[in-house]
Structure 1
Amino acid sequence: MIRIHFVGGEKGGVGKSVLARVLAQYHIDRNKPFTAFDGDLSHGALIRYYGDYAKAVDIGNFESADQIAEVTAELGCDVIVDLAAQSAQKIDRWMAESGLLELAEEIGLVVTL
């Protein structure tokens, strides 16, 4: 079963990026395939520490955010998304408009926020 892990929250400095990095390291330590997206464009912790696995994504730009669903469906592996503080409205809107939850049901994907 594949999973998208959205790591977010409305307040900055509470450990979102640290948790995303722990999830990435967990996958590496267990040889579990994954890819990561860094949605915190101002800090870029996943890009900085896990550049071989991560790329930037602009959650406010739906074409950019669509990469998350596309990569998940194509690669069939877990995806970790480190979200910036106060991005809940953007991610909620993108999930609704992209049909992510419907896609998740179709392909047996678990979405965790």
Structure 2
Amino acid sequence: MAPTRALNTANAVARPAFCRHPIFSAQRAHNQMTQSYHYHNGSEVAGCIVLVDGDKGGVGKSFTARSITGHLLSSGTRVHCFDGDYRNGSLERHYRNHCAVQRLDLRSEDGFSDFYDTLDMIEPRTVVLCDLPAGAGARVESEAERLRLNRQFGREIIHVWVADPGEDSVRQFKELQFVADPTRTVFIINMRGRSEPERFTIWLRSQVRASFIAAGGHELKLPHMPVRLHDRIALAQAPFLVDPVPSGLCRSDILSLRIFNQQVATELAPLFNLILGASS
């Protein structure tokens, strides 16, 4: 297994030596001297856990995770991010200089165990955001009970499902929609490429959707980002932040990014209300 990396731990303190992940093997002697724990009881709020999911690759999970992270940081919220695919650290590339980011293998039971152990080293009232890897559906389903039990430690689960127009996305969501309470579950229609909502006809006409909405679930749209801006941000490995101005972006990019961020704030407002309400 490729080693994971822990980066920019400005908002975190050292992890305990009993964690199994290879990244910490070289740091354990130091960590044993500096470790600090933040255990919580059910009456304390530690900050919610936001799982950005979708199971299939290429649906825009990482883009959605970056959009959410950018808005939270812009609003002054403390965020600790996890790239669930240790081979591809999208959050690390774009936010390593702005918040704590770690890579883990969240396709495995050990990876999730390391994730849970790390939560005790994250400062209270810090939002924990996980960009889950593609193909992790079976693992996430197996972890559902352990995920939900984090509520006893003050961390509510918010499940964000980034959808694909196809039938597979609806079927997979049906299997995983109970990872979190329906009122804390968000189905994201990604408007990339100026997609029309009608492309999601299978979802819009499904009984799964009807039951989900009736139970208090949230259906939201992630705005379209202009292709030129998307490519410039990717090239510069820039965050979705405009203050300070990211290196590699010009004025036209910043203007377009401001508009996109305003649209994200409006369209995903119910999600941000959930996150902040569960973390304060």
Give the alignment's TM-score, normalised by structure 1: 0.81
**CA apart distance, 1:22:** 1.1
C-alpha distance in structure 1 between counterparts of 2:58 and 2:91, whole Å: 15
Q: Which has the higher strand share?
A: 1
Which residue does 1:107 correspond to in 2?
153
C-alpha distance in structure 2 between counterparts of 1:13 and 1:95, whole Å: 23
Report the AA paired with residue 101 of structure 1: R
Counterpart check, 1:28 vs 2:77: no
Larger Rg: 2
C-alpha distance in structure 2 between counterparts of 1:59 and 1:43, whole Å: 12
CA gap 1:33/1:71 in 2 versus in 1, 3 angstroms: farther
C-alpha distance in structure 2 between counterparts of 1:10 and 1:91, whole Å: 9
**CA apart distance, 1:28:** 1.4
C-alpha distance in structure 2 between counterparts of 1:51 and 1:42, whole Å: 16
**CA apart distance, 1:34:** 1.4
1:3/1:111 contact within 8 Å kept: yes
Give the alignment's TM-score, normalised by structure 2: 0.36
C-alpha distance in structure 2 between counterparts of 1:87 and 1:54, whole Å: 20
C-alpha distance in structure 2 between counterparts of 1:50 and 1:21, whole Å: 8
Identical columns (%) = 25
Higher relative contact order (CA 8 A, sep 6+): 1
Report the AA paired with residue 118 of structure 2: V
Q: Which of the numbers 90, 93, 96 marks the counterpart of 1:45? A: 90
**CA apart distance, 1:101:** 1.4
Q: Which of the numbers 118, 136, 140 marks the counterpart of 1:71? A: 118
Q: Which of the numbers 96, 105, 117 marks the counterpart of 1:58? A: 105
| Structure 1 vs Structure 2 CA RMSD | 1.9
1:4/1:110 contact within 8 Å kept: yes
C-alpha distance in structure 2 between counterparts of 1:110 and 1:32, whole Å: 16
Counterpart check, 1:19 vs 2:64: yes
Counterpart check, 1:3 vs 2:48: yes
C-alpha distance in structure 1 between counterparts of 2:117 and 2:77, whole Å: 19
**CA apart distance, 1:95:** 3.6
2:150/2:156 contact within 8 Å kept: no
Once the two structures are superposed, residues 55-88 of structure 1 have per-residue CA deviations (whole angstroms, 9 ceiling, x without a partner) of 1110133333223333334422211100112211
Counterpart check, 1:90 vs 2:139: yes
2:85/2:106 contact within 8 Å kept: no
Give the total of aligned pairs: 110
C-alpha distance in structure 2 between counterparts of 1:63 and 1:11, whole Å: 22
List runs of 5+ in structure 1 lacking aligned partners: none
Once the two structures are superposed, residues 23-72 of structure 1 have per-residue CA deviations (whole angstroms, 9 ceiling, x without a partner) of 21122112211101001334321111112421111013333322333333
List runs of 5+ in structure 2 lacking aligned partners: 1-44, 160-280
1:72/1:78 contact within 8 Å kept: no
